[in-house]
């Protein structure tokens, strides 16, 4: 069924009905198989980016190697416990930013495209307000070290 679906998506791209193809909620072995057998490679992989899964490091690394844009979702809702850690709130306080802004900036600096989900215009503005600061190497390492939390 997966290959049947992908072939239909390739047909839609060939017909000009869609411009770019992507996949979501995929495992590393599934993406590797797709890359070996697809006629049209995915442009995007959209996955949950969870602390307890090492920020989806293996998938993100594969995407970088294969020139695929990694879209990170559940950065906030999937990592609630980690976002309460004092090391995270201290980084936010240092830059006069919110914890979500720090996490979105962190994902951006790792080369991910952070996805947010809101219909509130003020929240959209806040989510986009991540381009006036840069995390230090030590801060990035601190956030990476959160992996493994349950």
Tens digits of pLDDT across the chain (150 residues): 589 999 999 999 999 999 999 999 999 999 999 999 999 999 999 999 999 899 999 999 999 999 999 999 999 999 999 999 999 999 999 999 999 999 999 999 999 999 988 888 988 898 899 999 999 999 999 999 997 543
Cα 80 from Cα 50, distance rounded (Å) = 10
Per-residue pLDDT, 118: 82
CATH of 2-144, one of 3.20.20.100, 3.40.50.720, 3.30.499.10, 1.20.1530.20: 3.20.20.100
**Helices in 15-117 by DSSP H: which ranges?**
28-37, 57-65, 80-83, 86-95, 99-109
The SS3 of residue 137 is: helix
Instruction: Look at the pTM and tell me if it is higher than 0.75.
Output: yes
Cα 45 from Cα 133, distance rounded (Å) = 27
Burial class (CB in 10 A: 0-12, 13-18, 19+), 78: middle
Per-residue pLDDT, 72: 97
Domain map of the chain by residue range?
Answer: 2-144
Per-residue pLDDT, 149: 45
Cα 123 from Cα 63, distance rounded (Å) = 29
Per-residue pLDDT, 144: 94
Cα 38 from Cα 6, distance rounded (Å) = 8
């Amino acid at each position: 069924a997966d290959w049947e679906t992908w072939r239909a998506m390739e047909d839609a791209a060939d017909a000009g009905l869609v411009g770019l193809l992507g996949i979501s909620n995929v495992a590393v072995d599934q993406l590797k198989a797709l890359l070996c057998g697809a006629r049209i490679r995915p442009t995007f992989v959209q996955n949950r980016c969870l602390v307890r899964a090492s920020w989806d490091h293996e998938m993100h690394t594969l995407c970088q190697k294969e020139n695929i844009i990694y879209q990170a979702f559940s950065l906030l809702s999937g990592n609630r416990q980690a976002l309460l850690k004092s090391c995270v709130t201290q980084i936010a306080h240092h830059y006069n930013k919110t914890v979500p802004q720090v996490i979105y900036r962190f994902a951006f600096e790792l080369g991910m495209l952070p996805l947010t989900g809101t219909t509130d215009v003020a929240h959209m503005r806040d989510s986009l307000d991540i381009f006036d600061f840069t995390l230090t190497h030590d801060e990035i390492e601190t956030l990476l070290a959160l992996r493994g939390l349950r």
